[in-house]
Structure 1
Amino acid sequence: MTPMSEPVSSIKNLGPAYEAALTRAGITSAEALRELGADKAYARLLETGSKPHFIGYYVLVMALQGRPWNDCKGAEKAKLRKRFDAIKATSFDSDLSAFEAELDAIGVIKRA
Structure 2
Amino acid sequence: MSEISTIRNLGPAMQEAFNAVGIMTAEHLAEMGADAAYARLLENGHRPHFIGYYVIHMGLQGRPWNDCKGEEKKALRRSFDALKARHFNTEKSELDAFMDEIGLVQK
**TM-score when normalising by structure 1:** 0.83
1:100 corresponds in structure 2 to 95
Q: How many Å apart are 1:100 and its aligned residue?
A: 2.1
Are the counterparts in 1 of residues 45 and 94 from structure 2 also a CA contact under 8 Å?
Answer: no
Are the counterparts in 2 of residues 24 and 48 from structure 1 also a CA contact under 8 Å?
Answer: no
Structure 1 alignment gaps of length 5 or more: 104-112
Structure 2 alignment gaps of length 5 or more: 99-107
Q: Is structure 2 residue 74 aligned with structure 1 residue 78? A: yes
- Structure 1's 99 and 65: CA in aligned 2 closer, same or farther, altered over 3 A? closer
**TM-score when normalising by structure 2:** 0.87
Q: How many Å apart are 1:99 and its aligned residue?
A: 5.5
Identity of aligned residues (%): 57
Deviations 1:68-111 (A, max 9, x none): 00100011100000000010001100111x3627x9xxxxxxxx
Moved segments of 4+, more than 4 Å: none
Are the counterparts in 2 of residues 58 and 80 from structure 1 also a CA contact under 8 Å?
Answer: yes
Aligned-residue RMSD, C-alpha:
1.6
CA distance, structure 1, for counterparts of residue 13 and residue 90 of structure 2 = 22
Higher RCO by CA contacts (8 Å cutoff, separation 6 or greater): 2
